[in-house]
Structure 1
Amino acid sequence: MNHGENEITLYELRKQHPQLTEKAIVDYVNGLEVLDDHLRFRNQINNSFLTRIWDSITARTAQRQQVIDINFTTALKTVSVWLQDIQLSQADSDIAIAHIAKKLRETRAGLMGLQQRHQELAEKVEAIDQSLEIFQIQVDNRFTELESRIQQVDARTLASTHLEQVFDKWQAGRLNTYPLLARLYLVIDELHWGDFGTYCRSRWKSSEVDNFIEQLVNKACSQMRQDLKGDISEITLSKEWLSPIIALPKELREVLGYLTDWASPQTTPVTWTIRNTALAESSVLTPNKIFPGVFSGQHAINHLMYEHKRRMQISYDY
């Protein structure tokens, strides 16, 4: 696959799964490590899939290497490139905007510490800090606008519209390239990152959110029943749910692996199993305490919704 074909594929993946863009922004933002006067990219920025997605977002091929030495000129260049990329990213979700705002404050504080220790860099630091300050104002304004929109009456309408749009996509068969368990996860994940998730986070534990969650579950049950062409409570062997994930093309398994990288076997075992199956990191098809030996459509909905609620409870986490 040549570079041009790869870019088209990534564009199509981001169009199909808009949460890929928002998650990549959060990961890239959090990849800048600010410790006193030491600024560097964490190892996660070298994740090959994240790098390809990020280059697709910013429309340029960046050759980023982890800053492993305390070279202050390099640190300034690191922040400069990071800022330019973030400005190109155009985050939309509340999660991504909140992470950017927080990291901008941390970065500016780190730069001030660097300036105090190395006066010869004062002019360069000041120039970058001015750029950071301007962008921070823009991000703060965007977050204020987002909060204002949430407080308006149409916030619930936006969430409802998003819910309908995502399930329309499922019903139209646009996710049929994925097996059913992955399909269900991707629907819930896309809702988490969009207007539906924004509304639920802003009104968590309210009756409105409870009603929305119930509506989501009902829609999932209805669509699952159609896709299974039968009873969603019918028990089948777990390998029948997991084996099709292993058979997916590499790029689709990478999408699943990337979008589930927040999961842990202790708190979100079904999501974690989807990730490990997609990445073939362990013998997940063997029945174990993490994933049961038998499974059903109803089990899939119940487990993934429970794990989604755990994820949603932590404000601005992903």
Structure 2
Amino acid sequence: MTSTESADLDRLVEAYPHLEEKAIVDFINGFSVMSDHLDVKCKIANKGPSARLFDKLTGRSAKRQELIDRSVESSFVFIKEYVVSNEKRLAKNEHFLHQIMSGVSMISAKLQEVAGDTVTLRKNLNELADKVDGMEQSLSQRLDYYDLYNSAMAELKLALSVFAMEDPLFKPEQSLWMLLTRLKYGDFGLWLESSEGGSKHDKTVQAVMQALKNDCLRILAKLTGRSTHELVDRKALFTRLSTDDELLQDALCLVSGRDSNALESLILTINSGNVPSPDAELPYVFSSASIYQQMSCVFESGERHAASY
């Protein structure tokens, strides 16, 4: 990886930390579809944006592939070391830790069916599970409702400030999608779905979401030079949502696998090198208002950090 690519990656992960979390989760979940025999090579390093982005994050692509080729066991040592060495940063997201635990449990159950399961592999799995479980318990004790609210509002303020910058990496519509997915997978998304907070929670959520919409539309108008209701046709929108940069393609694909709305599916398609074939429900023209309306569907309840590749 060149120094320019490394700098771009550093800026990308700093602005959108959920990319690193989801790359690790998807990478671990990828082992759930491994072969029933441990001695068969698990060729996953070059499949999907999560693996490619994880390669770039660690800077050890060749070494990791060698470990995976040698055995599944060695690759778990690598994952465990990465999680432990980045504990402080990764422990900020409770749902990320939940998904790590889910992936580890799923693989552990799979290994029960595999002939030749080794003691060392079981030990590595248990160590990783214990480490993540400890991080998760510590985080859960710290985050009561009001702490979560304060953390969510701080995250919202920071994410909006990133969106308001004239980002040379992403086009404005892409930056909007990265903003919304960052909020979805962070403390803001946790707060939205909180069952605590009493009767005022729903009213507070409505007010905050309306303010978020207003801020996003104001910033989007400034970045694009378009008014809120100025129309954009399909072809122009496809161009606005696509990129030729492989790193940015991987980043956009990585957060676009839930099919929460028509534009999410479109972002995944056009940045995966495929030709879009919009269904009849996708409008022929959009405005900034309708783009936001579609993208904000990501906040609707549903599976979080699901493995998509």
Same fold at TM > 0.5: yes
What is the 5 A alignment of 1:110-259? 110-111=110-111, 118=116, 125-173=118-166, 175-203=167-195, 206-207=201-202, 208-246=204-242, 248-259=244-255
Equivalence for 1:64: 65
Looking at structure 2, the residues matched to 128 and 283 of structure 1 have their Cα atoms a distance apart, in angstroms, of 43
Moved more, 3-12 or 97-106: 3-12
Looking at structure 2, the residues matched to 107 and 29 of structure 1 have their Cα atoms a distance apart, in angstroms, of 9
Paired residue type of 1:76: E
SS at match of 1:202: coil
Please tell me whether the aligned partners of residues 95 and 317 of structure 1 are also in contact (alpha carbons under 8 angstroms). Answer: no
Q: CA deviation at 1:20?
A: 1.3
2:73 is matched with which residue: 71, 76, 87?
76
1:295 is matched with which residue: 281, 286, 291?
286
Q: Are the structure 2 counterparts of residues 66 and 295 from structure 1 closer, same or farther at C-alpha, using a change threshold of 3 Å?
A: farther
Q: CA deviation at 1:143?
A: 1.2
Paired residue type of 2:139: L
Please tell me whether the aligned partners of residues 257 and 279 of structure 1 are also in contact (alpha carbons under 8 angstroms). Answer: yes
SS at match of 2:227: coil
Please tell me whether the aligned partners of residues 155 and 187 of structure 2 are also in contact (alpha carbons under 8 angstroms). Answer: yes
Structure 2, unpaired ranges of 5+: none
Looking at structure 2, the residues matched to 219 and 254 of structure 1 have their Cα atoms a distance apart, in angstroms, of 27
Looking at structure 2, the residues matched to 89 and 110 of structure 1 have their Cα atoms a distance apart, in angstroms, of 27
Q: Are the structure 2 counterparts of residues 36 and 8 from structure 1 closer, same or farther at C-alpha, using a change threshold of 3 Å?
A: closer
Moved more, 18-27 or 273-282: 273-282
Larger Rg: 1
Q: CA deviation at 1:246?
A: 4.0
Equivalence for 2:263: 270
Please tell me whether the aligned partners of residues 100 and 139 of structure 1 are also in contact (alpha carbons under 8 angstroms). Answer: yes
Please tell me whether the aligned partners of residues 98 and 136 of structure 2 are also in contact (alpha carbons under 8 angstroms). Answer: yes
Q: CA deviation at 1:148?
A: 2.3
Q: CA deviation at 1:185?
A: 0.8
Q: CA deviation at 1:167?
A: 0.6
Identical-residue share of aligned pairs (%): 17
Moved more, 155-164 or 231-240: 231-240
Q: CA deviation at 1:107?
A: 3.6
Partner deviation per Cα, 1:179-238 (whole Å, 9 max, x = no partner): 232121111011112221222233499414333322321221222233344531222322
Give TM-score scaled by structure 1 length: 0.78
Please tell me whether the aligned partners of residues 94 and 139 of structure 2 are also in contact (alpha carbons under 8 angstroms). Answer: yes
Give TM-score scaled by structure 2 length: 0.80
Equivalence for 1:10: 9
Q: CA deviation at 1:27?
A: 0.7
Please tell me whether the aligned partners of residues 179 and 244 of structure 1 are also in contact (alpha carbons under 8 angstroms). Answer: yes
Q: CA deviation at 1:177?
A: 3.9
Equivalence for 2:96: 96
Looking at structure 1, the residues matched to 171 and 102 of structure 2 have their Cα atoms a distance apart, in angstroms, of 37
Looking at structure 1, the residues matched to 285 and 245 of structure 2 have their Cα atoms a distance apart, in angstroms, of 25
Please tell me whether the aligned partners of residues 156 and 199 of structure 1 are also in contact (alpha carbons under 8 angstroms). Answer: yes
SS at match of 1:32: helix
1:282 aligns with 2:278: no
Count, aligned residues: 298
